[in-house]
Amino acid sequence: MKRSLIRSMATGLATAAALTLGLTAATGAQAQSWWKPGVNTTWQWQLTGTLNTGYNVAVYDIDLFDTTAQTIAGLKAQGRKVVCYFSAGSSENWRADFGSFNAADMGKALDGWAGEKWLDTRSANVRAVMLSRLDLAVSKGCDGVEPDNVDGYTNSTGFPLTAATQLDYNKYLANAAHGRGLAIALKNDVDQLAQLEPYFDMAVNEQCNQYDECGGYSVFTSKNKPVFNAEYASKYKKNTNGARDKLCTKMTAAKIRTLVLPLDLDDAYRYSCN
C-alpha cells in the first residue's frame, strides 16, 4: 500500500481488517500458516487400489475418503507430506456425504464417469459441503488438498457457469483451505493459471504434454511452486521410439514433476521422470 495520507492508511487498514474477518466467517476457521512445497518436491499419486506406501517421495496424493487417518499418520511418520484428493466440482454417488447435496445442486453427468454429476459451484449448499470436506481433511491429518473438477465452466454442466464464477469458487476453496492450515493444489483449469497462481501452493495437471498445455505452468514453477504432472498415453508407458525419454528430458528442463501412470491411478505401473 503506497498511501501517504493518514486517513487513507486508516481506511485501508480498516478494509483489510474487514476482509480478514470476512474470510474467517466464510471459511469458519482461523487464519494460520500452512505447508508450502518447493518446485523440486517429488510425489506419488494413487487414488484407487491397495495403497503402495513404499515409494521414496516427499508427497503422497491419496483419496480423502478412502484413506484412513491411520494410513495418513503412517505416511507422515515416514516423513511424507500427504495431499488429500476430493472432487469439488462433481457429486459422486458412492461418497459418504453424497446425501448432503440437494437435487438442484446436481446437473449433467460427467462424460465417461459413472455416478458423477457436475455441481453448481455457485450454490451455498455445495460450498458448505466442501467446507465439511476440508474439515475432514484436517481431522484425518492431511497436509494439503487436491480439489478436482474445478474447471466446470469449460464443460457442459447444465448450469450457467462462467470464467468469473469459476474464479470466485476456486479462490473460495483456496482461502478456506488456508484458513484451516491446509496447502491446496490447483487441478488443471489451465486457462486460469495466471489468475489463480497467487491463491494456490502447487498445481496438479493431467496430460499437459498430450494436449500441449505445459507452458502455462511456468507461472507456478517461476514462483518455486511445484507442478505435479501425470501422463497416460501408451507411447509413454511403452517408451515408443523413446517417447518417455523425450518426455522426461522436456519436463525436467521445465521443472515439472512428471509421472507416467495408469488412468485408473491404481499403481498398476509407475514411471517417474525424477
pLDDT mean for each 10 residues of the chain (274 residues): 30 37 43 90 98 98 98 98 98 98 98 95 98 98 98 98 98 98 98 98 98 98 98 98 98 98 98 95
Measured distance CA(65)–CA(124) in Å, rounded: 22
Task: Give residue 152's identity as a one-letter amino acid code.
Answer: G
3-state secondary structure of 80: coil
**What pLDDT shows up at residue 31?**
52
Residue 30: per-residue pLDDT: 52
Q: What is the pLDDT of residue 274?
A: 87
- DSSP element (H, E) containing 116: strand 116-119
Its sign, for the CA torsion 133, 136, 138, 140, is: negative
Dmax (CA) of the chain: 67
Tally Cβ neighbours within 10 Å of residue 112: 6
Q: How far apart are CA 223 and CA 201, in angstroms?
A: 10
What pTM value is reported for the model?
0.89
